[in-house]
Structure 1
């Protein structure tokens, strides 16, 4: 199932990159390596995306990513 973002949610380019990597199941260290940032920054980026989407559930995150055609 694909979820659509509420109109009030704004995802910037970096948010979309993070969302895609999260949806692909990358760990925080792997995500940090892909984005060329430290692990604390990667963790913060993930948290920001989760807060914007209102979920930390991986299946819902994947559903949003599919809805946005990121995966």
Structure 2
């Protein structure tokens, strides 16, 4: 019986991407108000101050949305 010296390959679970969730008008307005109140760049403060509105959002989501709102 011949045995291969190579280790057996284990299949790792792949991380799945989040589903795309459209931004509501309330979320956009709250983001604008948060930037006026706390300043641009304070995404964690903005997120934590209105956690109930930004239910499934992250700090990076807020930053990216703000960047897109400014440019368009």
Bucket of the pairwise TM-score, normalised by the shorter protein: 0.3 to 0.5
What is the TM-score with the length of structure 1 in the denominator?
0.45
What is the TM-score with the length of structure 2 in the denominator?
0.44
Point out the structure with the larger helix share: 1
Q: Which has the larger radius of gyration?
A: 2
